[in-house]
A and B are shown apart, each in its own frame.
Chain A
Amino acid sequence: FSARHRPGIVGIERSIQQKNTHTNKQISVAFEDLNKLIQQAKEMVSLTKSIATKIKEKQGDITENETRKFKSYLLSMGIPNPVTRETHGTGDKYYTELARQLSTVLTKPVEESGGMMTLTDVYCRVNRARGMELLSPEDLLHACELMEVLNLPIRLRTFDSGVLVLQSKSQDEEQVIAHTTNYVGENGNCTAEELAQCLGVSVLLAKERLLLTEKVGGVCRDETIEALRFFPNLFLTRPA
């Protein structure tokens, strides 16, 4: 008789035990494999580091094919190492292609939303449209950083507050400032929320617009517990 066919409680107990040992074995095998994989990856990491130092010795000419290849190796392994690589090849081919693709997809939506879109919005849009093979936030950021170099119709821009936006090249900053100044002047004063509603842009962007206008002296602020309001800058425009 094998254990399975034994009748009674002892038989049931044995079969349960057998199952347990089996799953245990499977689990430990799985983790062993993972360990092996990690070991291998570790070797790759040390190897790439030594290559990086080699490249460093040669000093960077512009986008050599060798460094480019090297970068895509690093990328596929998930060890971005920009500090030592930045002088040897400006960004990766993958990012370049991604930047191109993004600009074709996004140019229209960006223009429709008033020439500016925050990077988080962009991230939502792109990934929702993709469904599979999603972008990591880092990929998106790196791709967007390259847009200016590639002369694409949209480019990345950082506001003083640290907010990142994609801005279409056709958008004229001075026009935005003039428009905001006018709007505030016509309404006497306004908050970011009011401006956002009127222009149909997000509150975040409306606020950036107001801050930008404030920076050049077009408006001034009135900070109270209720809200941060912006007024026409009478300090500068009205004679004393």
Chain B
Amino acid sequence: MADFDWPWQYKFPPFFTIQPNLETRKKQIEAWCTLILDYQKYLKSYSLDVKEAQNSPLFYNKSISRRLHEDGIYTILGELQKKGHIEWKDKGRKECLIMWRTPEEW
């Protein structure tokens, strides 16, 4: 299996801080959404446990020791849900189903 091709943002420390500037944040969240979907596709994984994901390389870049915090993860997952890529498995929003393509696209 070939190594996952990380986008440039992944090595850019500010990527791991949710940006206060609205325009910047929009770009940042967009990049995160693409990254999550690509990564899940690469892992061929359909579900994501928020607690577990915090320590996965997806949200924790050890080489620059930056980590996206829980609040940030929820912000981005919320955005993905709006786009129709995510369905929560439980009401507590601990685990979710990830669809690389939205049901409409299928």
Q: A-side interface residues toward B, CB under 8 Å?
A: 189, 214-215, 217, 220-224, 229, 231, 233-236, 238, 240
Q: B-side interface residues toward A, CB under 8 Å?
A: 8-9, 12-14, 16-17, 19-21, 23-24, 27-28, 31, 66
Chain A residues whose C-beta falls within 8 Å of the C-beta of B23 in the assembled complex: 217, 236
CA distance A215 to B21 in the complex (A): 6
Q: Let me know if B66 and A214 touch, CB within 8 A.
A: no
Pairs A–B under 8 Å by Cβ, sample size 24: A189-B13, A214-B24, A217-B21, A217-B23, A217-B24, A220-B19, A220-B21, A221-B19, A222-B16, A222-B17, A224-B66, A229-B13, A229-B14, A231-B14, A233-B21, A234-B8, A235-B9, A235-B14, A235-B27, A235-B28, A236-B23, A236-B24, A236-B27, A238-B8
Chain B residues whose C-beta falls within 8 Å of the C-beta of A235 in the assembled complex: 9, 14, 19, 24, 27-28, 31
Residue in A closest to B13 when the chains form the complex, CB atoms: A222
Chain B residues whose C-beta falls within 8 Å of the C-beta of A215 in the assembled complex: 21
CA distance A123 to B12 in the complex (A): 42
Q: Let me know if B20 and A214 touch, CB within 8 A.
A: yes
Chain B residues whose C-beta falls within 8 Å of the C-beta of A238 in the assembled complex: 8
CA distance A32 to B66 in the complex (A): 69
Q: Let me know if A220 and B24 touch, CB within 8 A.
A: yes
A221 partner, pick from B8, B9, B17, B31, beta carbons under 8 A: B17
B24 partner, pick from A223, A224, A233, beta carbons under 8 A: A233
Residue in B closest to A211 when the chains form the complex, CB atoms: B20
The winner among B8, B12, B16, B28 for most chain A CB atoms within 10 A is: B12
Chain B residues whose C-beta falls within 8 Å of the C-beta of A224 in the assembled complex: 13, 17, 66
Chain A: minimal CB distance from B6 (Å): 14
Q: Let me know if B17 and A214 touch, CB within 8 A.
A: no
Chain A: minimal CB distance from B49 (Å): 25
Chain B residues whose C-beta falls within 8 Å of the C-beta of A231 in the assembled complex: 12-14
A223 partner, pick from B17, B27, B31, beta carbons under 8 A: B17
Q: Let me know if B27 and A221 touch, CB within 8 A.
A: no
Chain B residues whose C-beta falls within 8 Å of the C-beta of A189 in the assembled complex: 13
CA distance A229 to B13 in the complex (A): 9
Given A235-B27, A236-B27, A240-B31 in contact, is the A222-B14 Cβ separation under 8 Å?
yes
Residue in A closest to B64 when the chains form the complex, CB atoms: A222
7 cross-chain pairs, A with B, having the tightest CB-CB distances, nearest first: A222-B13, A235-B27, A223-B17, A222-B14, A220-B14, A231-B14, A235-B24
Q: Let me know if B21 and A214 touch, CB within 8 A.
A: yes
Chain A residues whose C-beta falls within 8 Å of the C-beta of B27 in the assembled complex: 235-236
CA distance A162 to B29 in the complex (A): 29
Residue in A closest to B18 when the chains form the complex, CB atoms: A223
CA distance A233 to B27 in the complex (A): 11
Chain B residues whose C-beta falls within 8 Å of the C-beta of A223 in the assembled complex: 17
CA distance A223 to B14 in the complex (A): 7
